[in-house]
Amino acid sequence: MSEDDTPANWEADTPPVDAEVEALQAEVQALKEQVLRYAADAENTKRRAEREANDARAYAITKFARDLLGVADNFDRALAAAPADADGPARNFVVGVEMTSKALQTAFENNGLKKVDPAKGEKFDPHLHQAMMEQPADDVPPGTVIQTLQPGYELLGRLVRPAMVVVSPKASAGAAAPRPEGGYGEGPGDAGGAVDTRA
């Protein structure tokens, strides 16, 4: 055995074990953190995809529902124009229109489409209502609905169409000033949008 092969010389040529272990531990820790980040990103992507798929399923009928709202409006107009004292075949026709309108509303409700039809005196909500005009009224509080011109609809809590309403002015009669944005609601992007003060 030569002098170069002695254990003392061999240990002098090799790096300290502690430094190598620390370097490996640091590398393992860095790899663990990287794996955890990738796993978190994958989980977030999976949740986002599930949420988007659920929304797509829930709101898939939005365009179809919006197209059918005109049909529901026509039924309402037909019933409003129908004579109250109709008899014979005319009465049967009116009853048929009423039944068809109710069946359509039932189909809407079964699919999560809810009618927004504010009653007189209900507080104006710019997220659900669109103010078409202001009109002074003594029988309702300021800032409330006087009349619904066209009902609105929401699908599973998401507004499809705002209800078009006439509202009483928030200020005293004749002193109501338009907002700087020109709207009655909270802002230009709200459903309550602009108010047509021409009566």
DSSP 93-115: HHHHHHHHHHHHHHHHHHTTEEE
The token duo for 187 is 């802002």
Question: How confident is residue 56, by pLDDT bands cut at 50, 70 and 90?
Answer: confident
pTM (two decimals) = 0.59
Q: Which of 51-65, 94-108, 113-127 is predicted least confidently?
A: 51-65
**Averaged pLDDT for residues 47-59:** 85
Q: Residue 186 pLDDT > 70, yes or no?
A: no
Where does the pLDDT of residue 199 fall: very low under 50, low under 70, confident under 90, or very high at 90 and above? very low
pLDDT bin (cut points 50, 70, 90) of residue 3 is low
Match 């640091």 to its residue by tokens: 26
CB 124 within 8 A of CB 165: yes
Residue-range domain boundaries for the chain: 7-58, 62-111, 112-199
Record: fold of 112-199: Nucleotide Exchange Factor Grpe; Chain A, domain 2 (2.30.22)
Residue 86 is predicted with a pLDDT of: 80
**Above 70 in pLDDT, residue 109?**
yes
